[in-house]
Every structure is written in C-alpha cells, then in structure tokens.
Amino acid sequence: MDFARLCFICLILPIGEKKYFFIQKVFIIYQMILHVKAEEGVDIPKMDVIGKSDPYLVFKLSNSSKTWKTQFKKDTHTPVWKEEFHIPVSEKLDEQLHIELYDKDIINDDLISSIDFQINSFPKGKVVDQWY
C-alpha cells in the first residue's frame, strides 16, 4: 500500500572553486545533491489504541549515520509535510536511501513502514514524483 508522495531530483551542483595560482587555473569542484521533497501522506494506519497517527518520515543514506526528518503531523491519517531536504551523495551514486515512516509517541515511536531506493535509480536532472 502506498502511504507517502515523495519527489526526488538528483542534480550536479558546483560547491566551490580551487585556485592554483602557480599554474593560473581554476578548478570547479562538483558534488551530487539528491533533492528530496516529502509532499504528503494518505491512509496512514493508526498505531495506537486511541486517536490517529502522528506521522513523520526519516531519511538515511546507507553509508552515513546522518539522518534527515520531517516534522511530525499531529493526529492525522493524511499528513501534509511539504518539506525539502538536500542530501549530499557520492558521484558514483552507489548509496542506498532508506526511508522510514513513524508514528510519534510519548515513549517509543512506532515504525509504520519503510522503503529503500538505490540512488543510481533516479535519473540525473529529472524529477521523480510518485506515491510509495
């Protein structure tokens, strides 16, 4: 079942210049950035006895301990996040993006669903907008 609509775009962006004065050349350094936009969710299952879910998303790359999180949306089955993340990835695009959907709780958050994407499956410079 598809719970969340996500937009992905993989871009090559210049992140700076290196100047080598002794040879009078300028080298531009490039970095790959994966732009992820968490749009919205639908039919998020309720994980608690009372109330609705308080859903949020967590994004993590396979080769990093860093995570990116959306804000949780209180008491809803249809969250609207509209949050963007700019995630640096290697030029090889060999990482995997792991996404988890959680229900926020007072003590322990409940995992609702998860999905993995190979970064190299996203076409460079093209927007992928679909439900997962």
Residue 1 clears pLDDT 70, i.e. is over it: no
The two tokens of residue 105 are 């709780």
Residues whose CB falls within 8 Å of the CB of residue 117, separated by 6 or more in sequence, listed in order: 8, 96, 97, 99
Q: What is the pTM of this model?
A: 0.82
Q: What is the pLDDT of residues 82-106, one digit of tens each?
A: 999 988 887 777 899 999 999 999 8
What are the phi and psi torsion angles at 2 (to 5°)? -85, 125
Residue 122 clears pLDDT 60, i.e. is over it: yes
Q: What is the pLDDT of residue 132?
A: 83
- Helix-, strand-, coil-residue percentages of the chain, each rounded to 5: 0, 60, 40
Angle at 121 between CA 58 and CA 62, to 5 degrees: 40
Whose CA is closest to 103, among 83, 131, 75?
75
Going by pLDDT thresholds of 50, 70 and 90, the confidence category of residue 7 is low
Cβ burial, residue 108 (10 Å; 0-12/13-18/19+): exposed
Query: Which letter, b or e, does each residue of 91-105 get, where b requires 16 or more Cβ atoms within 10 Å of its Cβ?
Result: eeeebebebbbbbee
Helix (H) or strand (E) holding 28: strand 25-41
Q: What is the pLDDT of residues 54-76, one digit of tens each?
A: 999 999 999 889 999 999 999 99
Residues whose CB falls within 8 Å of the CB of residue 46, separated by 6 or more in sequence, listed in order: 52, 53, 77
Q: What is the pLDDT of residue 29?
A: 55
